[in-house]
């Protein structure tokens, strides 16, 4: 199954203090910032058992559980330094909550849900909500749309990884801190200039 994200390889980051996203607006720049915070736990297959493993401990070849495609090996994994900026909706960390689970991700990260109708959408980002993006048959809600903005200027270490695929634009639904979210594409990973980890 493939992603129907029309903006694979390009992502939105506000350069002003508003977040009314419009791809024709020159106040926006295009960079990829879809990442997990250090300490995020990813559901993997370890010694024939499903277990959560800290993202900073993952290595190339680890098997990650996907929602529709079984277990996929990590092809690339990397990290970056991220300076939180609450004035910019996608240069900011967000807390996404689901039942008893909490996940800290950058604003452009996609959370996967079956139905968007009961999802609370932040008023400032309704354009993104209307894009109707899907990954593995799940609807995508951006963390900046549905999460709680982290109002500090702290430095974070953020991680992401690519799962093996013949398609460099392939995304998978994966489990992070018990919340279904997206893996990144190989093209986004390369464009984001991660520090590559072994």
Q: Let me know if residue 1 belongs to a domain.
A: no
Q: Let me know if residue 7 belongs to a domain.
A: no
- Predicted confidence at residue 88, as pLDDT, reads 83
Q: Residue 107 in contact with residue 21, Cβ under 8 Å?
A: no
Number of domains in the chain: 1
The span from the CA of 121 to the CA of 145, in Å, is 5
Strand ranges for 31-167 from DSSP E: 36-37, 41-46, 49-54, 63-65, 71-83, 93-98, 101-106, 110-113, 134-135, 138-142, 148-149, 155-163
- Predicted confidence at residue 5, as pLDDT, reads 39
Lookup: tokens for 151: 């109002």
pTM of the model as a whole = 0.80
The span from the CA of 70 to the CA of 45, in Å, is 10
- Average pLDDT per run of 10 along the chain, which is 198 residues long? 36 36 39 80 98 97 97 96 87 90 92 73 53 77 86 95 95 96 91 83
Q: Let me know if residue 108 belongs to a domain.
A: yes
- Burial (0-12, 13-18, 19+ Cβ within 10 Å), 73: exposed
Q: Let me know if residue 70 belongs to a domain.
A: yes
Lookup: tokens for 62: 């680890």
* Distance in Å from the first CA to the final CA of the chain: 28
Q: Let me know if residue 93 belongs to a domain.
A: yes
Alpha-carbon dihedral 13, 17, 23, 26, rounded to 10 degrees: -100
Q: Residue 174 in contact with residue 181, Cβ under 8 Å?
A: yes
- The count of C-alpha atoms lying within 13 angstroms of the C-alpha of 195, restricted to the half-sphere facing its C-beta, is 8
Q: Let me know if residue 4 belongs to a domain.
A: no
Q: Let me know if residue 71 belongs to a domain.
A: yes
Q: Let me know if residue 145 belongs to a domain.
A: yes
**What CATH number should be reported for the domain holding residue 155?**
2.170.16.10
What is the domain extent for residue 64?
12-196
- Predicted confidence at residue 123, as pLDDT, reads 56
């Amino acid at each position: 199954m493939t992603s129907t994200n029309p903006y694979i390889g390009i992502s939105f980051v506000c350069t002003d203090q508003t977040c009314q996203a419009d791809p024709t607006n020159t106040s926006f720049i295009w960079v990829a910032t879809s990442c997990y915070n250090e300490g995020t736990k990813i559901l993997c297959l370890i010694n024939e058992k499903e277990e959560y493993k800290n993202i900073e401990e993952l290595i190339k070849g680890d098997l990650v559980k996907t929602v529709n495609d079984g277990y996929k090996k990590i092809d690339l994994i990397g990290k970056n330094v991220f300076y939180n900026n609450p004035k910019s909706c996608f240069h900011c960390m967000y807390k996404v909550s689901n039942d008893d689970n909490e996940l800290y991700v950058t604003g452009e990260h996609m959370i996967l849900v079956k139905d968007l109708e009961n999802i609370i959408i932040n008023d400032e980002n309704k354009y993104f909500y209307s894009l109707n993006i899907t990954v593995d048959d799940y609807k995508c809600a951006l963390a900046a749309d549905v999460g709680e903005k982290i109002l500090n200027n702290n430095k974070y270490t953020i991680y992401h990884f690519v799962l093996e695929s013949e398609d460099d634009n392939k995304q998978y639904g994966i489990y992070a801190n018990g919340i279904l979210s997206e893996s990144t594409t190989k093209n986004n990973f390369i464009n984001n200039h991660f520090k590559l980890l072994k």
